[in-house]
Amino acid sequence: MSNPAAAHALEKMLEVLVGQPCWLIRMRPYHRLVMDLGSKIADISPVSQKPFTRGEWRLQTLAAYWRFESQAETVVGSGDEDELISARIGMLQGLVVKSIQVVPPALDLVMAFSDQQTLRLFGVTSQQHPQWRMITPTGEVITVEPKGVWTLKGAEGETPLSPPELPPA
């Protein structure tokens, strides 16, 4: 079942990313992607207690495949070899987010960047495994799961923001 209302609500929340630069992108084990966007923020690791720099916003893929596209071709995807991914994902560093689209029913993410580049994230399971998440400047975590479900977790705990409880329009 398609859930356009949940997709629309999430898309509205993420629209603040338009105009933000991607200043760091890297691959984690199992071809999971991590992308830092917006201003650079000095932080302390809760695990190692060491200082590090993170993005104001951080996108992380979990149970999702991804691919970068130009207007003419698929540039690189999560199924490519490590060496190719490492060589090509850096092409997005310095590019600016031009648009955000959240596509129902699984809440796939499409981010268009300057220089005609596009990132597409799409879930790989119909089960309740988190597909991708976005960490906000306030430390809240938006987590996207299949079936049109997304949650926002902050200091007060996790709040489902998909049917039947959508925030007021």
pTM equals 0.85
What pLDDT is recorded for position 2?
47
Residue 92: C-alpha distances to residues 30, 69, 97, 146 (Å): 20, 11, 10, 27
- The CA distance from 23 to 90, in Å, is 9
For strands 64-69 and 74-77, give the pairing.
antiparallel
User: How many helices (H) and strands (E) in the chain?
Assistant: 2, 12
What pLDDT is recorded for position 13?
94
> By C-alpha distance, which of 128, 153, 123 is closest to 61?
123
Q: What does each of the 169 residues of the chain score in pLDDT, given as a tens digit? A: 347 888 999 999 999 999 999 989 988 877 789 999 999 988 888 888 999 888 999 999 998 999 999 999 999 999 999 899 988 988 888 999 999 999 998 899 999 999 899 999 998 888 878 999 999 998 899 999 878 889 999 845 555 444 334 344 3
- The CA distance from 148 to 129, in Å, is 12
Which residue has 């916003």 as its token pair?
57
Contact 104, 6 (CB under 8 A): yes
What pLDDT is recorded for position 98?
98
CA atoms within 13 A on the CB side of 57: 17
What pLDDT is recorded for position 155?
46
Indicate the SS3 state at residue 115.
Answer: helix
